[in-house]
Structure 1
Amino acid sequence: MTPETAQPVTTEYFQTAMAALDVQPPVAVAVSGGADSMALLLLCRDWLRRSSDSGWADGLLALTVDHGLRRNSAAEAQRVAGWCADLGIAHRILQWADDKPTSSIQAAARQKRYALLEAACAERGIGDLLLAHQREDQAETLLLNLMRGSGVHGLAAMQPLSKRGKLRFVRPLLDVPKSDLYATLRAAGQDWIEDPSNHDSHYARVRMRTLYRHLRDEGMPPERLTATAAHMQRARAAIDHYTDELLSKAAIVGDAGVAWLDPARLSAAPEEVGLRAIARLITAIGAQRYTPRLSRLESLYQWLCAQPVTGGKTLSGCQLIPHKGRILILREMASIGPDLRLAPGQSGRWDARFDVALGRETASLCAGQAYFSVRAVGEVGLQQIRAMQTARPAANLPVAALRVMPGIWRGDALLAVPDLCYRHPAAAILQRAVTLDFAPRHPVFCKPLNNGNDRA
């Protein structure tokens, strides 16, 4: 669509899109200040005004991430804050305060951005985060994934609705051309920020924009690319269905974040389904944000399908160990995240996989410590368990699996390993005062995310 034919996105169109995705307030909108996100923010405000009473503003939070990578980033974030104030929209600036990497900056910035957004939504009890990806973004994503040699899942590009943990990522503008978003802003008299990095050819996504302009001249406009992505999404849904079936028969995922895989059942399934099953297990057990590269999955698949499976493998923060005719998939010790410190009555998330909560009654066990720690059992913890000899028999698990189980520590003393039914004799209260749930960002089993069925 050319600028001359572009039309503002109507409130009716947006309301229909939000209803189809079952979006419910309160919601957050990721707002960089660029044209796409500012248009999404205005549309979301008007949607809430129409669907809510006078308290619509309570249902909307704008979130801006200041990556600190450009000299003007802080000033731009403040500019967005000013616009939000003028619009009567609550706004927060989230800062990337850590040291910045010297390579793969865009990938690291994306990972940190989503981590900050997820944490801000969790803090406010928000279940839906709206993202402003539009039709040209979808076309670029398909081309990038095609260039990387992606399979069906990569060529399906971005999903209108996806979920990480308890947070839904909602993209209601994937069918909307960017020119219509510009028209929306002009009609509302709303300014926006032009990010100079969007024109920097050092970045692959910028180069893809040049490529698809040439493709458009050859008769392949963005809407045809996005239609291809939609076809791939239907194929992806079918593969996901059969992947769930395979995993229900071939895999057992334990509460301790350890999985057993039957390689014979895996190798008997269609290869594409088998690859997806491995990707699901690795992504969940390894606490990954994204699935491993297809080439690495294919190499691992070939190893798993060899008979007999010998040796061991590591991939994306996981160890794979043949054990008693099956494959044990567990967290790699060196990849486990930092300790989680919790005071009595607090809760938190450890290793991006476990939700942990301590009851207030654990205060009686503090013994001068201000907090407890959640960390892997490790070799030190194993020695303490053996000395106590009170753990549930774990004959089915090799020592490597016991080492990476989550434990509750007070200083250097291991007080409990919930998944082993182990607790220090002096810490019997922990049996009822600790909640530890394996809740990976991407679950092993998936289900369709539509019509509210994902809110269970």
Structure 2
Amino acid sequence: MSPEATSPQQAILKFLASIRSPARILVAISGGSDSTGLLLLLDEAVKAAPHLEISLCAATVDHGLRAGSTDEARHVAALCASLGISHTIATWQGDKPKTGIMAAAREARYGLLAETAAALRADLIVTGHTLDDQYETLRMRGLRTEQISSGIADALLFDRRFWILRPLLFSRRADIRSFLRARDVPWIEDPSNEDVRYERVRMRRQINADAVAENDIRAAWEQRLALSSRGAEWLDRHFRLHGGLLGQVLPDGLRKDSTVLNYAFGRLTAVFGGQPFVPGRAHMERLLTFAAGREPGRMTVGRVVFDLRRDGLYLARESRGILPLVLRPGEAGVWDGRFCVKNGLTTSIEVETLAASLGSSPMTEMRGDHFERLPKAAWKRAIASAPALSSEGDHLSPQSAEAVEMTRYFAPFDRFLTRFDFIFADRLSAVFAMAPYAGLPLRSIDGKTI
């Protein structure tokens, strides 16, 4: 075992001691060495400690991308049956994209795992990511940015609903395979793991496994967590939301530490622009330089218009590039990366901007001293980007609109939220008067009570 790695057995015992119980854990198992090792390690530890009140179930996602995947899933099912663990095979149905297949497969995999967790009444999901995966990720991200990366998170919230935890993230693949060999348990070798067309495979062949120690990774994690906390404090003191559509950074908030501003502005831009990722470094440098200026003006970054005035910096979604969304009865979808809409009517509906619906950039019916004090141009821009509902070309009546469920959607957080950004995202959720994110199913992290 490498000196910087934790033995798989120690990692699992530490993990089980950290989670809240009673708990039902869904193990994501592909049949490869990492996930097979994870299942067996958990099974041994849970059976040895019944007082923990922890049960296991398992799921295999068959992506249907290569011959033999169905047989491999059945092999995993047989293994689970031999251990007395309930197992489900979830198949990725429908047409597969010709480009971006890895990202699409990841999206499908987590969606299917969440559906299975709900069906099996699991409290959390675990995956077999290892220290080797961490090294590869750090190397790949290091080639794209000079900023320090925290790599793969040990905990990820999916769809605001299920936490996905990675108990073996500080254990080496070689040690997991040694554990399996000692128990004479085989695993499946995925041929894509040797396909150099994939960046991760190329990194795997080049990587210096001793380049980053566990302490360095955990230190980066602590820095990210501290930054998220400082960003949340900045929101409380310096950010205001008007009508759910127009953001305002107060003048004092523009003069704070550039690291905090870069973090907060990047994520606010992604939220208001409906984008899953923050703008790139060059765009953020331009934005921060603009925000630090003293002259009023406007600029657009990440589909968001920033309007600098004497009473602060206003931000709202720009009116261009907002596409309509059609939903059949019972369907749900995300409109413009900013609103989640579910159609409860018996007819199809269309979601478009209020400006497109009325044929101009409208003002709102909201009146009062508060809204009268807002810059008219900024408020008008924000209202123009608001969603409007119609059916068969007619605006929905108030009664019909009540059958359509519409909630704010945070594109950088609501599908995949790492625990590094949890504090900031949860505080922003409160600013928008939204329900809080599901809390971590842990009672401790690294031995510290949470």
TM-score w.r.t. length of structure 1: 0.74
Distance change (3 Å), C-alpha of 1:61 and 1:342: farther
CA 1:319–1:158 in structure 2 vs 1: closer, same or farther (change >3 Å)? Answer: same
Partner of 1:172: 167
Q: Aligned to 2:89, what secondary structure does the other structure show?
A: strand
CA-CA distance at 1:191 after TM superposition: 2.2
Asked if the contact 1:38/1:192 (under 8 Å) is kept, the reply is: yes
Distance 2:347 2:126 in 1: 36
- Post-superposition CA distance 1:327-348 (Å, at most 9, x none): 21337763668444444xxx85
Q: Pick closer, same or farther for the CA change 1:89–1:159 going to 2, 3 Å.
A: same
Report deviation, 1:145: 1.8
- Quote the Cα distance in structure 1 between the aligned partners of 2:317 and 2:50: 47
Gaps of at least 5 residues in structure 2 are: 428-438
Shift of 1:70: 3.1
Q: What does residue range 186-197 of structure 1 map to in structure 2 within 5 Å?
A: 186-197=181-192
1:70 equivalent to 2:70? Answer no
The answer as to whether partners of 1:35 and 1:193 remain within 8 angstroms in 2 is yes
Residue 238 (1) aligns with residue 233 (2):
no
Cα pair 1:138 1:226 within 8 Å, conserved = no
CA contact (8 A) 1:26 1:127 kept: yes
Match of 2:142 in 1: 146
Counterpart of 1:83? 79
- Residue number in structure 1 paired with 2:406: 436
Partner of 1:334: 321
Partner of 2:15: 17
Q: Which residue of 2 aligns with 1:306?
A: 293
Q: For the Cα contact (< 8 Å) 2:324–2:352, is it kept in 1?
A: no
Whole-angstrom CA distance in 2 between matches of 1:54 and 1:450: 14
> 2:92 aligned to 95, 115, 134, which one?
95
User: After superposition, what is the alpha-carbon deviation per residue over 1:345-395, rounded to whole angstroms, capped at 9, x for unaligned?
Assistant: xx855346545567xxx7xxx5xxx24536233444335997xx9943476
C-alpha RMSD of matched pairs (Å):
4.0
Q: How far apart are the structure 2 equivalents of 1:305 and 1:186?
A: 60
Match of 1:350 among 334, 337, 341: 334
1:89-112 superposed Cα distances (whole Å, 9 cap, x missing partner): 22132315334133x443443344
Distance in 2 of aligned mates of 1:337 and 1:126: 36
Distance, in Å, in 2 between the alignment partners of 1:265 and 1:119 is 45
Corresponding residue for residue 305 of structure 2: 320
Higher RCO structure, 1 or 2 (CA under 8 Å, sep 6+): 2
Label 1:354 to 1:44 Cα distance change in 2 as closer, same or farther (>3 A): farther
Distance 1:95 1:405 in 2: 34
Deviations 1:422-443 (A, max 9, x none): xx3xx34755x66533253157
Aligned residues: 411
* Distance verdict in 2 for CA 1:288–1:229, change over 3 Å: farther
* Distance change (3 Å), C-alpha of 1:353 and 1:377: closer
Amino acid at match of 2:284: L
CA shift, 1:194, in A, is 0.9
Question: Would you say the 8 A contact 2:333–2:341 is kept in 1?
Answer: yes
Summarize deviations over 1:13-45 as a string: whole Å, max 9, x none: 413213325476333332222111111122333
**CA–CA separation in structure 1 for the residues paired with 2:129 and 2:261:** 31
Give the % identical residues.
Answer: 23
Question: Which amino acid is 2:26 matched to?
Answer: A
Equivalent position of 2:357 in the other structure: 381
After TM superposition, give the deviation of residue 300 of structure 1 in Å. Answer: 3.2
Q: Is 1:204–2:199 an aligned residue pair?
A: yes
Residue matched to 1:60? 57
Determine the C-alpha separation between the residues in 2 that align with 1:112 and 1:260. 33
Shift of 1:176: 1.0
CA distance in 1, matches of 2:22, 2:305: 41
Unaligned runs of 5+ in 1: 416-423
Tell me which protein shows more helix as a share of its residues.
Answer: 1
Amino acid aligned to 1:283? A
Tell me, yes or no, if structure 1 residue 137 matches structure 2 residue 107. Answer: no
